[in-house]
Structure 1
Amino acid sequence: MKICGVICEYNPFHNGHKYMLDRAREQSGCDFLVCVMSGNFTQRGEPAVSDKFSRAEYAVRGGADAVIELPAAFAVSPAELFAKGGVKLLSSIPDFTALAFGAESGTAQSFAATARALSEESRELKAAVKEKLKTGLSPVRARAEALEQISPPEVDMDLLNSPNNILGIEYQKALFQFECGAQILPIPRVGAGYTDTKQYADYSSAAAIRKAAEDKKYRFIRRNVPEYVFRDVKNFTSPALYEKIAVYSVMSKPASELKKIADCTEGLENRIQALAKDNPDYGALIEKITTKRYISSRIRRIFAASVLNITEELIRQSLKNKLYLKILAVNREKAADILAALKKSQFPLIARRSDLAELSKTAQALIEKDFQANEVYQLATGKKFNDNAMRLV
């Protein structure tokens, strides 16, 4: 049996995602297609436009056989930890043979060679990155420029300039780390790029669709998402209340607590708190904190981790310990077979509250953050859902 995995957010699920799932199934020749999806908070560091069960249902309707929740602690983390969390869950499944993702360029071979070179950083590369950081660049940009300066022959430089490609490299690095033999499967993106907010005829980005929803451009959205997603567009969540909660969270915490959050380094906790005192508006505060070195997505993730009390230590410990597979949605017709395949995992399946008794101490601490994320999401959006049962679609 072969399982193809996809690590995703689907915020919201759109035509490009459906295209990618179709190509992943076709090119992997898999028996089952399993998504590991961010829950109610995404890697942007903000609440998802629809709750995790709705998005999981759309993914199954769009071609997935099952959707597993990526724990909130990984979902609001930098790309490296986001990728490691998703790959760790998939790697626990014996029949996991391929990891598909949307890519701007590159082949499986070029991703593997580049990832291996970055996993085995030379002394020269480390020194070059350190010098680039001193100029005020973000860690991602500093590494890219250092590599461009050194130009190792095994590194495909084109892979370092696009968000999905950078994430693909992190997926391959994680597969190496967990000694997983699954092959990566880069699927060429169609239509808009990841951060492209331009409106295309039928393959626009999730960012463009979210912006169009704010502007009530429903005709455009209808061309870019499946009908079952479009029916939910007018119910997309407003981040307004969450933003107030987030600002209060970073204002009220001691700087020593903010410092425990992943990526809150180099005194960034002091900068956040100093600026928060005079900038109570979320958007204005993010803009004030943002610099060439501290990009806005990094700041938003720190805010989300603060709200959910997620520390880097919890994430690091979780990567060393046995976790869990929390099932959000399953294809009804394939449920028996896919659940049987997932039960072969080294990690327990969580499909109902009673399954929590099987969890290790670290896994219990991790899933508590998922529950907390649900509570904050429901408080901030006014939407209620039952978190104790998966959906049969």
Structure 2
Amino acid sequence: MKTAAIICEYNPFHNGHKYHIMETKKKTGAKRVIALMSGNYVQRGTPAIMDKKIRAHAALLCGVDLVIELPLFAAASSAPDFAMGAVALLDKLGVVDYLSFGSECQEINKLKAIASFLIKYENEIESGIKDFMSLGHSYPKAKELYLTTHLKDASMIQILKQPNNILGIEYLKALIRLNSSITPVCVERIANDHHSTDLTPSISSATSIRSTLEQNLIEPLFSRVPDSLHDLYKHHYQHDFPVCSDDFSLLLQTSIHSTDDLTKIVGISKDFSDRLMKKLRPDQSFEDLILACKSKNITWSKTSRNLLHIMLGMTDSKFLLAKKYHMAPYYQILGFRRDSSSLIGAIKKETSLPMVRHLRPLHDPLEKEQQILLSVDQYAHQIYQAVIGQKFHTILKDEQIIV
């Protein structure tokens, strides 16, 4: 029985995500779908708007058979490390036949060609990017400028400007580097742009839906999410979501002041550390601080990730430990459908990865370095739960979601 995997955040789950699941099954013929989902913190450097259990439950109600959590160091990293962690984990499970991702470009061979080019000339490209960054350009802009002068096919430049294509190419690069047998499949992204803040009929971006929820408006959500999720979202709304970055403002300020050397945190340069301390004021929210610290050559997402890394104590030394495991030191099942027991059994038989439950070792022994990484995951989870407890006076239970 063929199994497809989708790397996701479902922040929150909406109609476009259901379409992706359906198209994945149609394109691959897979009978089973695994969602490898970020936990309570996401790649753009923010807390997820909903607890991971709500998002896992939503996925299981809409066609996913099994939801596995992507460990924190991968989930809160830049695109290359996010992709490597996700693909490495899927590869180590030993049961995944297809990796399906959304993209604006539907020519998988062209995406593969770009991925191969980027790997082959990686050193030259990075050197060229640094030259452009020294002129004051951000990393994405510097990369675009360098590749514009070195890629003969102009259409490839346009492909590299589109957000889903960029992440899809990182998945393909990871598959190549790992010599993985998983077959990549792309599903066309439909409706509005990934970063669009405008609500559109039926299918809207997660960005636009989050923006609406953060304004304490839930009614516009219902026409843009599957009917099967209406009761779930109504039940949890204002009980334990929405959660936003600014709910963590005091924790961020405390972490900044209690960190002896900010340059020991993942992604923090001396220049960024100096800029942060210069801009820091006691009345600033998380979002205010992002806007104060972002600049011409450092993006909003990079800035937000840096601040998140500070708040969660994600140091360079621990990041290097995560790299040792290709950002995938263990796996955790967040939820599953009752009829997927054979899939879980197959994973246990095929994988060499240790499994944890509720971010605690279960039956599989962990190496000391895996335990260190798990402790960071645990701390991040406890902080998220504490914020929900303070904001909504709700205590979340550690439980697997079974549908």
Question: Which category describes the TM-score, using the shorter chain as reference length?
Answer: over 0.9
Write the distance in 2 (CA, Å) between the matches of 1:138 and 1:106. 28
Query: Structure 1 residue 391 and structure 2 residue 397: aligned?
Result: no
SS of residue matched to 1:146 = helix
* 1:26 partner letter: K
In 2, Cα distance between equivalents of 1:328 and 1:263: 29
Q: Tell me, yes or no, if the aligned pair for 2:265 and 2:310 is still in contact at 8 Å.
A: yes
Q: Who is 1:34 aligned against?
A: 34
Q: Distance in 1 between matches of 2:106 and 2:122?
A: 23
CA distance in 2, matches of 1:129, 1:86: 25
2:288 to 284, 289, 303: 284
Q: Which residue of 2 aligns with 1:300?
A: 304
Match of 2:336 among 312, 325, 330: 330
> 1:366 maps to which residue?
373
Q: 1:251 Cα shift?
A: 3.2
Pairwise CA distance, 1:241:
3.1
1:33-53 deviations in Å (ceiling 9; x for gaps): 111111111112221111111
Give the Å deviation of 1:173: 1.0
Deviations 1:175-212 (A, max 9, x none): 11212121211111111211101110110011111111
In 2: Cα distance, 1:26 partner to 1:338 partner? 20
- Determine if contact 1:250/1:276 at 8 Å carries over to the other structure: no
Alignment partners' CA distance in 1, 2:220 and 2:191: 14
Structure 1 CA distance for aligned equivalents of residues 216 and 126 of structure 2 = 47
Distance 1:263 1:121, change over 3 A: farther
Q: State whether residues 323 and 360 of structure 1, in contact with CA within 8 Å, keep that contact through their aligned partners in structure 2.
A: no
Match for 1:241: what amino acid?
Answer: D
Please report how far the alpha carbon of residue 312 of structure 1 lies from its aligned counterpart in structure 2 after TM superposition.
Answer: 3.3
SS of equivalent to 1:341: helix
Counterpart check, 1:253 vs 2:263:
no
Distance in 2 between residues matched to 1:356 and 1:161, nearest whole Å: 45
Aligned position for 1:80 = 80
Question: Residue 194 of structure 1 corresponds to which residue in structure 2?
Answer: 194
The 3 A distance-change label for structure 1 pair 347 and 361 is same
1:230-281 deviation digits (Å, cap 9, x = unpaired):
4234442343331221132123323x3x223332236212211221146633
Contact 1:125 1:150 in 2 (8 A): no
Aligned partner of 2:314 in structure 1 is 310
> In the superposition, relative to structure 1, how do residues 106 and 133 fare at CA in structure 2: closer, same or farther (>3 Å)?
farther
- Do the aligned partners of 1:262 and 1:311 also contact (CA within 8 Å) in 2? yes
- Which of 347, 355, 361 aligns to 2:353? It is 347
Q: Could you say what the CA RMSD is over the residues aligned between the two structures, in angstroms? A: 2.1
Counterparts of 2:317 and 2:160, CA distance in 1: 28
SS at match of 1:64: coil
Residue by residue over 1:130-171, the C-alpha shift from the partner in whole angstroms, topping out at 9 and shown as x without a partner, is 221112222222112210122245982222111111111111
Asked whether the 8 Å contact 2:214–2:242 carries over to 1, the reply is: no
Q: 1:230 to 1:192 in 2, by over 3 A?
A: farther
Structure 1 unaligned regions, length at least 5: none
AA partner of residue 226 (structure 2): P
Could you say which residue in structure 2 is the equivalent of 1:171? 171
Q: Quick check: 124-133 or 32-41, which moved more?
A: 124-133
Q: Measured at CA, do residues 373 and 49 of structure 1 come closer, stay the same or move farther in structure 2, by a change above 3 Å?
A: same
CA distance in 2, matches of 1:93, 1:362: 20
Asked if 1:185 is matched to 2:185, the reply is: yes
Kept in 2: contact 1:42–1:76 (CA 8 A)? yes
2:247 to 241, 246, 261: 241
1:390, CA displacement in angstroms?
2.1
> What letter matches 2:368 in structure 1?
K
SS where residue 358 of structure 1 aligns? coil
In 2, Cα distance between equivalents of 1:250 and 1:159: 38
Partner residue, 2:384: 377
CA shift, 1:31, in A, is 3.2
> For structure 1, which segment, 106-115 or 356-365, has the greater mean C-alpha deviation from structure 2 after superposition?
356-365
Q: How far did 1:128 drift? A: 2.7
Structure 1 residues 218, 123: CA separation in 2 closer, same or farther (over 3 Å shift)? closer
Specify the SS of the correspondent of 1:185. Answer: strand
Q: Secondary structure at the match of 1:33?
A: strand
Q: Give the structure 1 partner of residue 267 of structure 2.
A: 263
TM-score under structure 2 normalisation?
0.90
- Which sections of structure 2, spanning at least 5 residues, go unmatched? none
Deviates more, 1:73-82 or 1:280-289: 280-289
Using the TM superposition, give the Cα deviation of residue 120 of structure 1 relative to its aligned residue in structure 2, in angstroms.
1.7
User: Does the Cα contact within 8 Å between 1:237 and 1:381 map onto a contact in 2?
Assistant: no
Contact 2:354 2:364 in 1 (8 A): no
Equivalent position amino acid for 1:379 in 2: A
Deviates more, 1:115-124 or 1:93-102: 115-124
* Counterpart residue identity of residue 385, structure 2: Q
C-alpha deviation, 1:357, in angstroms:
5.0
C-alpha change, 1:293 and 1:175, in structure 2 (3 Å) is same
